[in-house]
Amino acid sequence: MIFNHNDIGEPLPLSGIRVVDLTWIVAGPQTTRIFADLGAEVIKVEYKESPDYIRGAPPFAENIPGENRSGFFNNLNRNKKSLTLNVMHPDGMDVLKNLISVSDVLIENFSSKVLDRWGLNYEEQKKIKPDIIYLSLSGFGHSGSKQDYTTWGPTAQALSGLTYMSGSPDEFPAGWGYSFLDHTAGYYGAIALLLALHHRNNTGEGQSIDISQVETGMVLTGTYLLDYFVNGRKYRRPGNPPGNRARFDIVAPHNIYRCLGEDKWIAIVVSNNEEWGKFCISLERLDLLNNDLFTTNELRITNQDLLDKEISKSLIDRNSLELMHMLQKEGISAGIVQNAKDRVTDDPQLKSREYFQTIEHPEIGTYEFDGFPAKFSDIGYRMERSSPILGQDSKYVISDLLGYPKKDIDLMESEEVF
Amino acid sequence: MITQTCALNDIIVLDLTDEKGVYTGKLLADMGATVIRIEPISGNKTRSIGPFYMDQISQESSLYDWYNNTSKKSITLDISTDRGMEILKDLCLKADIILESFDDDYLRDCGLTYEYIVEKNSKLIWTAITGFGRTGPYANYKTSDLVALSLGGPVASCGYDHLPGSPPICPDGWAGYYTGSHYAAISTLVALIYRDMTNKGQFIDVSIHEAISSSTEAALPMFFYQNNVPLRQTGRHHSIIPTPPAIYKCIDGGMIHVFGTPPQDLNRWGKLLEWIQETGEGSELLQPKYEEMVTKRNRDSGLMFTLFTHIGRLINSLDSEYVFNRAQSIGLPWGLVRAPEENVLDDHFWERGFFVNIEHESLDKSLFYPGAPYVFQKTPWRIRNSSPYLGQDNNEVYKEMLNLTNMDIELLKEKKII
């Protein structure tokens, strides 16, 4: 086995794995981003007339829209190749089938009936490539009475319970301010494909995998579902969700407090009496330490409204970052609420681990990217190529990879097959 | 034959994680790996996290612990003693993967280093899951789910724009730790695929902070490309420009999250208009400029607010289940805002076999659990046993893996090493 290497010479662990990537929007591209970063050859297949929706989603480089100018798209689709294909044309379908025949994985996140309509369900794929691993990521999965229902990240969050679980007590749901579950469904996609690859390495067998985005949210509510099943306790009850306080009120202080400056906040968790002592001394609030209302965790929980009010008074005029460092030095879990700018420009931890890296894009220039969230001793990931220009690799795939003769390619080009 | 239906049948995992990484081992165990929790004699602290079975607080009744430790085994071992560390080293020689989430230097201080492991068992994959990673200025900082989600970015995007001055909100449900665990599982499996090819193990340094930072959708691109920081909005996407509310109350008190609207094609747009007009309103939406929201992806703020005012009134006047089903029947990906337990009432998830019945021998009954995040055709996800009692597998594991005798085990118990 010969591995490709990244620019600092580390082997890329998924070298040699080829992925036919029929996904779009966010969830599926999240799965294939991980595969592409780690060395797989991900061939993103798009239809020129309606390419990946995210190509049209802001932010755009220099605020100028264009199918190769979306920063959101660039971020999600780095290290991938682009093949444009009209699969409704017989020659286009022929190309797709030939591509499947030399690939390891096929992944799609269409609604549940699309591949059936194309005549390309798993049974058909197997005829082309007997050990293919087929992953489908849909809203409700490929079985059950709601299999034709569709979701986007926010509506899958709403259905799974995650939206409801975010908010101040008895207030309207605050929900998630973005499609968290598109990432999460994408992570389950990556985990599933890696498990299937290991099984294939052991047995030579491929298989199909069916992921429902709503279910990937439901598994994150597992403890609460169990609480309902065994104790009959509903999450929907007065006082829930807990806002920024500890669930089940197990510890106090546990909250997010306002600090000096516009929209500056700090999260603080004080887990025991020892930390409470250090916390009060650090803040020069011996009055709190000596106050009979706060001497034990139980009392701090009971008197939490007053406690939070007193703590807020001490924090409102302080610099949040300095406060975080001061409390962390005392062994107290404290962290500022960082927005994207804070993370990119002011986070010494992310900087020291070289989490942000740059890649040059042929049309829009050089931009920053978030890296892979783990470091390996002997392997690495790449930040090699920006997201592909639409159709950039069509000829590579059809000619170099699949070996179509030039006259066929010319004919396909004239008929806009790719 | 069972052995062929588990993707990780061949894998032995030592799991020394606390709540930061405990879910990683569940992901591997439910796919067939032999995952052995190695707990201090006093028990892992995950056993003290509520809620509890019948609200009886004990080491064996934490539902959080039950959910996150399905299919695992448990042994006790005091690794702070010399003999305990020797035993851990012996176990490492027999294992494929070690998962741990200790503070930076703890295992080194106890006498276990990756250098030692490489020499003795070069195939071992060692996955360290920490708040900020093993290097950098925050390497020894103390995290918590609240602090991790604050520093990592999600909290800045969640909250209430309709309550001026209100704090950002941290979503409930351990989402920060789960995201760290997702990346820990992905990284571990990637290392396993590499090992399949090379026979080489790996040390993996997973940063929960980076895992969360990689999961905030367009927040980073908005800053990279346009120097913008989006503002959090009640129950919907963060945004640079205010967008109309996305969650609407129904006549029965239920709520609907509206997304993917206006739809991307005129067919569905027409059906939405027809529906709105059934209420006798919305004739202004027939003007061509509204159609351009579909045909030209025009997202003019005034048009969006007008459209959503009509959608809101429509939803306000109807029953939530009806709105959900009708919207889906015309291809609109709207969703109900459910509390977790409300999915138990949806036949769809039972039809898919999502909820599974797990026997609890000690209680002499079986209980329902939330199930598979993925449906595998050949190597199905399966809970093999309920979460283990503290040390329940001492005899089996120490005898089978280390060939200890009954007398050895009794002696170790006497000396409080196991």
| pLDDT above 90 as % of chain A | 97
Band of pLDDT at residue B2, cut at 50, 70 and 90? very low
C-alpha distances in Å from residue B193, one per residue of A197, A212, B3, B5, B382: 7, 25, 19, 18, 22
**Do A367 and A286 share a structural domain?**
no
Looking at the partner chain, which of A198, A218, A350 has a beta carbon nearest the beta carbon of B7?
A198
Please check whether residue A137 lies inside any domain of the structure.
yes
pLDDT at B1 > cutoff 60: no
Looking at the partner chain, which of A187, A209, A231 has a beta carbon nearest the beta carbon of B182?
A187
Cβ within 8 Å, pair B370-A194: no
Dihedrals phi, psi of B96, to nearest 5 degrees: -100, -35
Which residue type, as a one-letter code, is found at position A259?
A: C
pLDDT tens-place string over residues A255-274:
999 999 999 999 999 999 99
Cβ within 8 Å, pair B349-A161: no
Domain boundary among A285, A309, A336: A336
- Chain A: closest CA distance from residue B109 (Å): 19
**Do A146 and A80 share a structural domain?**
yes
Q: How many CB atoms lie within 10 A of CB B265?
A: 12
Cα three-residue angle B388-B185-B11, rounded to 5 degrees: 60
**Do A204 and A105 share a structural domain?**
yes
Counting the structural domains of chain A, the total is 2
pLDDT value at residue B4: 61
Chain A positions touching B218 (Cβ under 8 A) are: 57-59, 71-72, 75, 178
**Do A322 and A210 share a structural domain?**
no
Please check whether residue A346 lies inside any domain of the structure.
no
pLDDT value at residue B299: 86
Task: Name the H helices within A245-379.
Answer: 273-282, 286-289, 297-302, 304-315, 320-329, 340-346, 348-352
Please check whether residue A51 lies inside any domain of the structure.
yes
- Residue A284: which domain range? 265-336
Please check whether residue A8 lies inside any domain of the structure.
no
**Do A280 and A212 share a structural domain?**
no
Cβ within 8 Å, pair B155-A256: yes
Looking at the partner chain, which of B4, B172, B335 has a beta carbon nearest the beta carbon of A155?
B335
Question: Which residues of chain A register pLDDT less than 70?
Answer: none
Chain B positions touching A225 (Cβ under 8 A) are: 340-341, 343-344, 369-370
- Chain B: closest CA distance from residue A382 (Å): 14
**Do A270 and A180 share a structural domain?**
no
Residue of A149, A171, A249, A259 to mutate, testing the B interface (most B Cβ within 10 Å of its Cβ) = A149
Under 8 Å between Cβ of A7 and A79: no
Dihedrals phi, psi of A39, to nearest 5 degrees: 110, -5
Q: What is the mean pLDDT of residues B97-108?
A: 92
Chain B positions touching A352 (Cβ under 8 A) are: 135-137
- Chain B: closest CA distance from residue A54 (Å): 10
**Do A397 and A312 share a structural domain?**
no
For A233-237, which contacts have Cβ atoms below 8 Å and span 24 or more sequence positions?
Answer: A233/B51, A234/B339, A234/B341, A235/A161, A235/A164, A235/A165, A235/B339, A235/B340, A235/B341, A236/A164, A236/B339, A236/B341, A236/B342
Chain A positions touching B297 (Cβ under 8 A) are: 56
Cβ within 8 Å, pair B146-A267: yes
- Chain A: closest CA distance from residue B408 (Å): 36
Cβ within 8 Å, pair A178-B218: yes
Cβ within 8 Å, pair B157-A178: yes
Please check whether residue A245 lies inside any domain of the structure.
no
Cβ within 8 Å, pair B190-A194: yes
Domain boundary among A292, A308, A336: A336
Please check whether residue A142 lies inside any domain of the structure.
yes
Chain A positions touching B349 (Cβ under 8 A) are: 144, 215, 218
- Chain B: closest CA distance from residue A267 (Å): 6
Cβ within 8 Å, pair A229-B336: no
pLDDT at B105 > cutoff 90: no
Identify the DSSP state of B230. P
pLDDT value at residue A124: 97
Please check whether residue A293 lies inside any domain of the structure.
yes
Band of pLDDT at residue B404, cut at 50, 70 and 90? very high
Looking at the partner chain, which of A168, A229, A337 has a beta carbon nearest the beta carbon of B368?
A229
State pTM to two decimals: 0.98
Residues 6+ positions from B172 with CB-CB distance below 8 Å: A165, A166, A241, A242, A247
Q: In this structure, what CATH number is given to the domain that contains residue A160?
A: 3.40.50.10540
Chain A positions touching B233 (Cβ under 8 A) are: 177
**Do A137 and A42 share a structural domain?**
yes
Chain B positions touching A173 (Cβ under 8 A) are: 235, 247, 255, 337
Cβ within 8 Å, pair B159-A177: yes
- Chain A: closest CA distance from residue B410 (Å): 35
CB pairs < 8 Å spanning A and B = 508
pLDDT value at residue B112: 94
Domain boundary among A294, A310, A336: A336
Please check whether residue A388 lies inside any domain of the structure.
yes
**Do A186 and A114 share a structural domain?**
yes
In the predicted model, what is the mean pLDDT of chain B? 96
Under 8 Å between Cβ of B232 and B157: yes
Looking at the partner chain, which of A14, A57, A201 has a beta carbon nearest the beta carbon of B190?
A14
Q: In this structure, what CATH number is given to the domain that contains residue A297?
A: 3.30.1540.10
With CA atoms as reference, the chain B residue closest to A229 would be B368
Per residue, what are the HEC states of A139-150? CCCCCCCCCCCC
Which ipTM value was assigned to this complex? 0.98
pLDDT tens-place string over residues B152-202:
999 999 999 999 999 999 999 999 999 999 999 999 999 999 999 999 999
**Do A170 and A79 share a structural domain?**
yes
**Do A332 and A368 share a structural domain?**
no
- Chain B: closest CA distance from residue A42 (Å): 16
pLDDT at B345 > cutoff 90: yes
DSSP line for A13-37: TTTT-EEEE---TTHHHHHHHHHHH
pLDDT at B357 > cutoff 80: yes
pLDDT tens-place string over residues A363-382:
999 999 999 999 999 999 99
Looking at the partner chain, which of A159, A182, A269 has a beta carbon nearest the beta carbon of B147?
A269
pLDDT tens-place string over residues A178-220:
999 999 999 999 999 999 999 999 999 999 999 999 999 999 9
**Do A164 and A48 share a structural domain?**
yes
pLDDT value at residue B191: 98
Cβ within 8 Å, pair B169-A243: yes
Cβ within 8 Å, pair B175-A180: yes
